[in-house]
Amino acid sequence: MLGKMLENVRASCPLIHNITNYVTVNDCANILLACGASPIMADDCAEAAEITSLCGGLNLNIGTLNSRTIESMLLAGKRANELGHPVVLDPVGVGASTLRTQTALELLAQLRLAVIRGNISEIKALASGSGTTKGVDADAADKVTEQTLSGVATFAKSFAEKTGAVIAITGAIDVVSDGKTAYCIRNGHPMMSSVTGTGCQLSAMTSAFVTATPDHPLEAAAAAVSAMGLAGEIAHQRLGKLDGNASYRNYIIDAIYRMTPDILEKGASYEVR
């Protein structure tokens, strides 16, 4: 089933509008190309809605938030909703500042979101309307472990039911839920945390997967999360003696480019609860 999600992306080549983090915008564009989609980046409010009209899906990322792009995100999101196009929200660092928290809550209130993807601290902060995060990283006290997994899955189901969006919580163990079912995914490698923007790339790729299979957002999001984690594993196996995190970043993109539906189907490590 998850392999079919990648197959659908490659077959449909969805055009994804990204209003995203300028620290990682190039990597987001490249991961979309690698998975078989096409990226476009337009964050001026004078054209945001118009560009969204041309695209199949929308990825909103508040990683480098500024007042100018908040209006653009709302305009683009509302147009995507009008057209029935999926919107993915990545609430980077929500809870770290008042502006981030208020903006994320406004996007949540005003837009119909297909997927919300973040680390556990970000999703908890969004659910509670406040919080403290370690920059853009999950707080150590929040990290998902085998011991806390059941509670995180229950929380993800509850928040998904409340928002109507698929909730994708990513970390050492990933949890993806639509309110009824939760995928608990164990792909990935610890070195992924040494690369800036793997989460941003995942949100962009999730937009492509959900756009390519809009009737199955849970499976599409789970497939994207599994593919990114599996790419992290494959990339780590490729590292040579002189390779570091810059090579690792490139190898992750290469792994997505070379990934087939069969590789994803066989390599995805998950259970459904």
174-177 β-sheet, strand order: 38-41, 15-19, 57-61, 87-90, 115-118, 166-169, 174-177, 182-185, 270-272
Whether residue 92 has pLDDT greater than 60: yes
- Ranges of beta strands (E only) in 4-159 are 15-19, 38-41, 57-61, 87-90, 115-118
User: What's the confidence (pLDDT) of residue 135?
Assistant: 47
pLDDT band at 233 (very low <50, low <70, confident <90, very high): very high
Whole-structure pTM value: 0.94
Average pLDDT of every residue of the chain:
94
- For the CA atoms of 154, 266, 235, 63, what is the dihedral angle to 10 degrees? -30
Better-scored residue on pLDDT, 46 or 131: 46
For residues 162 and 124, give the distance between their C-alpha atoms in angstroms, rounded to a whole number.
13
The total of other beta-carbon atoms located within 10 Å of residue 125's CB is: 26
Give strand pairing partners of 149. none
CA-CA distance, 141 to 111, in Å (whole number)?
Answer: 30
**Residue range 47-51: mean pLDDT, rounded:** 98
Q: How many percent of the chain have pLDDT more than 70?
A: 95
**Confidence check: pLDDT of 132 > 70:** no
The predicted-structure confidence for 176-231, as pLDDT tens digits, reads as follows: 999 999 999 999 999 999 999 999 999 999 999 999 999 999 999 999 999 999 99
85-98: average pLDDT: 96
**pLDDT(136) > 60:** no
Residue owning tokens 């041309």: 54
The 3-state DSSP class for residue 270 equals strand
Domains belonging to the chain, first-starting first, are 2-272 (3.40.1190.20)
Q: How many CB atoms lie within 10 A of CB 56?
A: 23
pLDDT in tens, 50-75: 999 999 999 999 999 999 999 999 99
Q: What residues are paired with 59 via a beta bridge?
A: 18, 88
pLDDT at 145 over 90: no
> In whole angstroms, how far apart are CA 47 and each of 39, 116, 226?
16, 24, 34
pLDDT of residue 130: 67
pLDDT 10s digits, 248-260: 999 999 999 999 9
CA 106 – CA 5 distance, rounded (Å): 30
| Burial (0-12, 13-18, 19+ Cβ within 10 Å), 190 | exposed
